[in-house]
Every structure is written in C-alpha cells, then in structure tokens.
Amino acid sequence: MKLYLLILFSIFSIITSIVLSDCSKPEKKIKIAGSTTVLPIVQAAAEIYMDNHPDISISVRGGGSSIGIKSIIEDLIDIGNASRKVNIKEKELLNKKRNDLTETAIAKDAITIIINLENPVTNLSLYQLKAIFTGQITNWSEVGGYDTEIIVVSRDVSSGSFVVFNKVILDSLKVKDNAMMLASNNAVATMVGYTPGAIGYVGLGYVNKDLNIVSIDGVLPTPETIMNNNYKLTRELFIYTSKAPKELAQDFINFVLSEEGQQIVEKQGYLRIN
C-alpha cells in the first residue's frame, strides 16, 4: 500500500511539475482584428507564420476597419487591419489617450463594383453609380439593363470600404434608405451572386466567377489601372500598431512585407505594395 501511494505521489509530482513549468512560460500571442478586406491576407500570412514559429499563436478576426483601429487605439489588440486611413474622430481619441499609431501599407486594392451574372450591364458612369446608390435611379432599364428593380447592397458604416466608396462615389451623401447594409465583403458577394437585380461593391480579393464586374466610366480594375490610379476606387490596405509595436507584432509585419508575404498578397487576389 505504501509503495502504491508512493507511486501515485511521484506521478502527481511529475504532472504538477510539467503543468507549472508550462504555466511559467511566457505566452507568445498576437491578436489581430479589423477590416474584412484585409482579413484573407492576414489569415493566410498568419497560418504560414505560425507554421514557421510553432511557439507563437495568432488570432485573427474581422469586424471592420473601425473596429480594428479603435481596438488598437484602446490597446485591446496588437495589430489593427484597415482598408482606410485613420479619420478625424479617431485622431481625437488618440490625442485623448496620448497615444499614436504606426501605419503600414501592405497591399494595393480596388473597390470593385459587382452585379449578378444575369445582368447584362457592363459599364456605369460615376453619376449613374451615385444615382443608383442614393436612390435616384431605381430600375436597371434606366442604365441599359433589363426592366427590373435595382437592389442596392452596401457595406455597413464600420467598414473602410463604405467610407472610401461614400467619399469617392456618393460625395458623402446618404445611401438609399432600403439598401442592404452588410457586415462583410463575403456577405455582399454572396448576396449579389444570388440576387439577379443586385449591385454591390467588394475588395478585389472577393471577386469570383459567380459575379460580373462593372467598369466605371469605361475603366475596369486591372493591375495596370490600379497601379497607375486610373481606376477611381483604387486604395491601399493598412495594418496599424501602437507607435512602438511589440517585437512579435513587428516581426509579423516584416513577414507580410517580405517577398514571401507579398506573394501571399497576390495569391489572395490583391496587388503587392512592393
């Protein structure tokens, strides 16, 4: 009996020692959140980075550019993804926090106008886009399409894509009241793909074979028109950190900007920044 208890005690001691040893190890984690446009790039990069660094854990979630920027300002995450630059209100919050951010461009993108495959329209002017999304044009027959209602699908207001689209296309006017305001690029692409009369916009990486791309004033989002900024909705994609990012966060950023990281950018359907 004494021998049995001694064995049990020895096993318990070994297990306790292992557990305490693991608990004493510093956790190596990177928390990332924000833009759903940037999301596929960072997710793919995180998977490869973790394969190369088994001791590091990276959590990545969406939520929109506003969530990413606000969360990094409030020090809730290590990296905030955004498809737009910091706005005035966020700068005011930074001042209150006596904080500052480091902005890093990681890719070039184009907000792409998408319609259903059944829709024959191939081009819209800036004026027509503005009129459609503000509700002045409500039927596809008014722009050379079938006699059917236009269903407007937009990103929600926390989205960086919404901010850029609203500024460039709508002149900061309000999107029509019955527009569908969706929380992610994927949701917009899916809705437009299943809805014959729908029109929406997504990041370049979310365009697929189930969607038609509409040119703006005769210009399609191609690598050439994006790189020379001839396409009206060209933009850069960013990741934000605190002014002095943690060593792990900076190492991950360096990886995204590396040759391997920029190849990941291209595989996700975007254009490299360098």
Mean pLDDT, the chain cut into blocks of 10 residues (274 residues total): 47 46 62 97 98 96 95 94 95 86 97 97 98 98 98 96 96 95 97 97 96 98 97 97 90 98 98 94
Instruction: Give the β-pairing of 151-155 and 234-242.
Output: unpaired
Radius of gyration of the chain (CA): 23
Separation between Cα atoms, residue 179 and residue 135, nearest integer Å: 9
Query: What is residue 8's predicted lDDT score, i.e. its pLDDT?
Result: 44
For the purposes of burial, counting CB atoms within 10 Å of the CB of 30, is it exposed (0-12), middle (13-18) or buried (19 or more)? buried
pLDDT, one tens digit per residue, over 178-192 is 999 999 999 999 999
Helix ranges restricted to H, the chain:
2-24, 39-52, 65-73, 88-97, 126-134, 160-168, 185-194, 223-227, 247-257, 259-267
pTM for the full predicted model: 0.87
pLDDT, one tens digit per residue, over 242-263 is 888 889 999 999 999 999 999 9
Domains, the chain, in order of start with CATH, read: 26-108+237-272 (3.40.190.10), 112-232 (3.40.190.10)
* Residue written as token pair 């005690």: 9
Helix axes 259-267, 247-257, angle to 10 degrees: 70
For 108-140, letters b (16+ CB in 10 Å) and e give: bbbbbbbbbeebebeebeeebbbbbbbbebeeb
